Amino acid sequence: MSQQFEPNIVAFLCNWCSYAGADLAGTSRVRYPANLQAIRVMCSGRVNPLYVMNALQQGADGVLISGCHPGDCHYMEGNFHARRRLGMLKELLEFVGVDPRRFHMSWVSASEGHKWKEVVEKTVEDARAAGPFEGFRRRRIDW
Partner 1 sequence: MSAMLLNKQKWTEFTGILSGKKVLAPVACGDRFRYAVPAEGKAFSLDFDRPLVPPKSAVFPQTETLYRFQLGKTELAAPQPGEELILLGVRPCDARAIKLVEKLFRWDVDDPYYLRRRELTTVVGLACLEPGLNCFCPSLGGGPASTEGLDLLMVDLGDSYYLEPLTDKGRSLMDLASGLLEEAGEEGLQKKEEAVRRAEEKIRRTVDTDGVPEILPDLWEHPLWQKTAAGCLGCGTCTYLCPTCHCFDIQDEIEGFEARRCRMWDSCMFEEYTLHTSGHNPRPTRRERTRNRINHKYSYFVRKFNVIACVGCGRCVNYCPVNIDLIETLREVKEAQ
Partner 2 sequence: MDLDKLRKTAAEVVSRDDVKYLIGWRPGSYGYRVAPGFVEEASAAETLIFSPLCTINLATYLTLTEKLPLPRGSAPDQRKVALMVKGCDSRAVLQLLVEKGIRRDQVLLIGCPCPGVVDTALLSLKYPETESPADLKWNGDHFLLRQDGQETAIPRLSVLAEKCRLCRYPNPVISDITLGEPVEAQLTAEDSAVAEVEAMELGARAAYWEEWFSRCLRCYACRNSCPLCYCRDCVLDRLNPTWVNRAVNFSENTAFHVARAFHLVGRCIECGECERVCPANIPLGRLNRKLAREVREQYGHEPGIDPDGKPFQAGFKPDDPEEFIL
- Contacts with partner 1 by CB under 8 A lie at 58-59, 138-139, 142-143
CB of 48 to partner 2, least distance (A): 8
Q: Which of 118, 128, 2, 119 is nearest to 61 (CA)?
A: 128
CB–CB of 66/108 below 8 Å?
yes
128 binds, among partner 2, partner 1, none (CB under 5 to 8 A by kind): none
Maximal CA-CA distance, the chain: 51
70 binds, among partner 2, partner 1, none (CB under 5 to 8 A by kind): partner 2
Q: Which of 22, 41, 63, 105 binds partner 2 (CB under 8 A)?
A: 105
* Whole-Å CA distances, 20 to 108, 124, 127: 9, 20, 24
Q: Of 26-55, which residues contact partner 2 (CB under 8 A)?
A: 48-50, 53-54
34 binds, among partner 2, partner 1, none (CB under 5 to 8 A by kind): none
Q: Which of 92, 82, 100, 88 is nearest to 41 (CA)?
A: 82
- Which of 37, 58 has the CB closer to partner 2? 58
Contacts of 33 (CB under 8 A, 6+ apart): 120, 121, 124
Q: Binding residues for partner 2, per CB under 8 A?
A: 48-50, 53-54, 57, 70, 77, 80-81, 83-85, 87-99, 104-107, 118-119, 122-123, 135-138, 140-142
